[in-house]
Amino acid sequence: MIQAKQDLLAALGEAIQELSPGSLVPAAFESPKQAGLGDLACTAAMQLAKPLKKNPRELAQALIDSLAARPAFQRWVATMEIAGPGFINIRLTAAARQAVVSETLAAGDAFGLQPANDRHVMVEFVSANPTGPLHVGHARQAALGDAICSLFQAQGATVTREFYYNDAGVQIATLASSTQARLQGLKPGDAGWPELAYNGDYIQDIADEFLACKTVTADDRSFTASGDSADLDSIRQFAVAYLRHEQDLDLQAFGLKFDNYFLESSLYASGAVEAAVARLIAADKTFEEGGALWLRSTDYGDDKDRVMRKSDGSYTYFVPDVAYHIDKFQRGYTKCINVQGTDHHGTIARVRAGLQAANVGIPQGFPDYVLHKMVTVMKGGVEVKISKRAGSYVTLRDLIDWTSRDAVRFFLNSRKADTEFTFDVDLALQQNDENPVFYVQYAHARICSVIRNWVTRGGDEALLGSADLGLLVAATENQLMLKLADYPRMLSSAAEGLAPHDVAFYLRDLAGAYHSYYAAERVLDQTPELTLARVALLAATRQVLRNALAVLGVNAPTIMSRESLENS
């Protein structure tokens, strides 16, 4: 069906240009609002009506007449009907729907993927300062960011996963003073304990390792402690390395590895911050007032001008962000996506204003942002707010330990990023249809069980490519094949919309279509020809389930413990 859709889209594009030469109306199909209306829907007639000043239903008929004369529509389309104000509902031939099975089996892991191209995309996410373990907000960023990377890779782009963090500043100074207080025998609540100190037990762990003069190694650094509790610089460097190592362990547990770590301090060391400020001054986009340097960000749509350099000479936090994104652009990344919490919303306008004012060729709207809302964790029907290890919040490692990596990845991608999400630990552990990740994984495992059963009866998977797909005519088979055929389009749309939740929605729909088919039709104990065709459909469904789960970084188990698997 993939080839059929491509042929039909090309023919539709030709017909649109024939009716309206030079038209910008795209050749596109939608899914009909009701499954019984057909397999594809086209709204081009309604889009053409206004510029051509014609009745949309008359245009729809003219479009149908043009399409009916084209070889692609003669080959792949059974009927076309006008509905409503000018919709065209298209019903495909059985052969067009059935073709997706052989296309999927032939492509295998590459089904749905686009050819490699020269597009370079950077996704910056997690970006946690090394002051403590990764919390559930970072977990949501990790799930969203990694899935967005996979979506762009599926579209043929070269993708870089980047982790940016502040390795200096007030938070790092607080980390060092907190560790030093522990080295001095203090603990939270004691007289002399720093008011803004970090209180988690992990600070004591850092102090103990520091006294032992341990060496810690992270992905981006290694440091050996001096063991001297008066050596604040050594304490700071050791604490940063220790927590970066701990974060690496969190990320490894999550199955995530970054291509690059970028230090905020490098922007100052390299002179990038000063160079960015100099560009803005030279472009006459700054002014001085009250002893501070301001950016004329209102020139670029911000609600007010912003302080860049305070009266004490220090820069506000958006200035190194501007320098950082100039650096990204100059590294050749014309598509950059930042996955951050909604508390960063206020920085978007000022960063983009600074990038436009710098006049270095960066396009408007750069970079893209995906802002996520908070995650609430429920366990035993009660909200969990505190982790003993972290001291004040639930960590990524907590979620994985309580449930599984697969559950964390799937659940945190199961809603739009800009909606609040409740992570129900009890639900994630359930082995029933209410648990979405179990529901999807169980569909894959159930298919594997059926195919194993078929093979033990003498079936040969090498013969699936020769199956007579014309035998797949049941209504549930048609629905399942249509859902398989929608996978490549869904991937492209999810990448374009920065919407990995679309993949989770698709997986649940595909699993539902399979479970409905399994309940309605027997696969085994049919004629050999029909059994072979139905096993081929199951194998194609298994492949697409596995491919889509991989986009989310979720495993596709071949065996699961639910009793009904044994009765497949």
**How far is the C-alpha of 20 from the C-alpha of 25, rounded, in Å?**
9
Largest CA distance in the chain: 88
**How far is the C-alpha of 213 from the C-alpha of 225, rounded, in Å?**
5
Q: Which residue in 81, 85, 90, 74 sits closest to 30, CA to CA?
A: 90
Residue 568, pLDDT score = 43
- Asked if domains 2-92 and 436-567 share a fold, the reply is no
Contact assessment for residue 93 and residue 78, using Cβ atoms and an 8 Å cutoff:
yes
Residue 567, pLDDT score = 44
Question: Hey, what are 185's tokens?
Answer: 């025998």
Question: Hey, what are 329's tokens?
Answer: 């652009």
| CA dist list (Å): 401 to 250, 396, 531, 560 | 11, 9, 42, 20
Residue 64, pLDDT score = 97
Identify the residue whose tokens are 């004040």.
Answer: 392
Q: Which CATH number fits domain 436-567: 1.10.730.10, 1.20.1050.10, 3.40.190.10, 1.10.15.40?
A: 1.10.730.10
Residue 566, pLDDT score = 43
**How far is the C-alpha of 135 from the C-alpha of 140, rounded, in Å?**
9
Q: Which residue in 137, 241, 135, 127 sits closest to 179, CA to CA?
A: 241
Alpha helices, H only, 53-93: 56-68, 71-76
Positions of the chain with pLDDT lower than 50, given as ranges: 388, 563-568
HEC readout, 289-334: ECCEEEECHHHHCCCCCEEEECCCCCECCHHHHHHHHHHHHHCCCC
Q: Which residue in 378, 471, 474, 376 sits closest to 140, CA to CA?
A: 376
Domain ranges of the chain: 2-92, 169-257, 436-567
Residue 170, pLDDT score = 85
Residue 317, pLDDT score = 87
Contact assessment for residue 480 and residue 541, using Cβ atoms and an 8 Å cutoff:
yes
Edge-to-edge strand list for the sheet holding 40-42: 40-42, 87-92, 77-83
How, if at all, do strands 158-165 and 120-124 pair?
A: parallel
Strand partners, 163: 261
Collapsing DSSP states into helix, strand and coil, what is residue 229?
Answer: coil
Alpha helices, H only, 339-385: 345-357
Edge-to-edge strand list for the sheet holding 286-289: 286-289, 292-295, 306-309
Residues 480-499 have pLDDT tens digits of 999 999 999 999 999 999 99
Which distant-in-sequence residues (6+ apart) come within 8 Å of 349 by Cβ? Answer: 297, 300, 301, 302, 303
Contact assessment for residue 395 and residue 136, using Cβ atoms and an 8 Å cutoff:
yes
Q: Which CATH number fits domain 2-92: 3.40.50.720, 3.40.50.2300, 3.30.1360.70, 1.10.10.410?
A: 3.30.1360.70
